Amino acid sequence: MGKELEIKFSLEDKDYSIFQDWLKNNAEAEGREEHEEWYINNPASSFNFDRNGLKDADNYFRIRKTNQNEASVTLKLWQPDPEKPGHHTHCIEHEFKTSDLDSTRDLFQALGYTDITKVIKSREIYNYDVFEIVIDNVKELGIFIEVELKEEFNDPKAGHRKIKLFLKDTGIEKIKEQTRGYVSMFWNPEHDHGVTKYMKDY
């Protein structure tokens, strides 16, 4: 079991160029991965619900295959923000590796996990200080950036502040912070989950 704390966002062209230059000059490139993911759900005991007219979930069950012929199964339990109803502070992850992807998918299907949302993306990975930075090019959605705090934390607010200070230091002017993940974007294609945040006020 692990804890994940990150900020996901997109950038306009000017800030994206600034951010790429900053990564090139400061961060350590770790390579590129191709991800094929299946977010699965059992309709008889569903994670999903309606929130303000949108399809949503607080827990996600994912099977992922990478171009390194690795596969994993992950249960993501998003922790609610007590100060912002409908928002989350961080995620608790339960993950294990599997060597037989097809049999794993067949097993969960036999258990009733027949509701599937597929996500395909290319991921560039960078490391800097206590942060992992990834640039995701998601098929049918576009380019997004995730900055994850890779050190232990007890206070999610302090962790988010650390990421925000890092983003300010890169020289970008504004981001469009995403309040939901890729699955929610596919579920609700007419809804914009992004909120514009200016670094001077961040």
Domain ranges in the chain are: 2-201
Give the pLDDT band (50/70/90) at residue 85: confident
State pLDDT tens for residues 19-42.
999 999 999 999 999 999 999 999
Mean pLDDT of 136-144: 98
- Helix or strand or coil: residue 190? coil
Distance CA 36, CA 71 (A): 10
Q: What is the pLDDT of residue 120?
A: 98
Mean pLDDT of 46-52: 94
| Residue 37: both structure tokens together | 């993911």
Distance CA 38, CA 59 (A): 14
Domain 2-201: top CATH class: mainly beta
Helix/strand/coil percent split, the chain, to 5: 25, 50, 25
Point out the least confidently predicted range of 68-72, 75-79, 109-113. Answer: 68-72
Predicted TM-score (pTM) above 0.75: yes
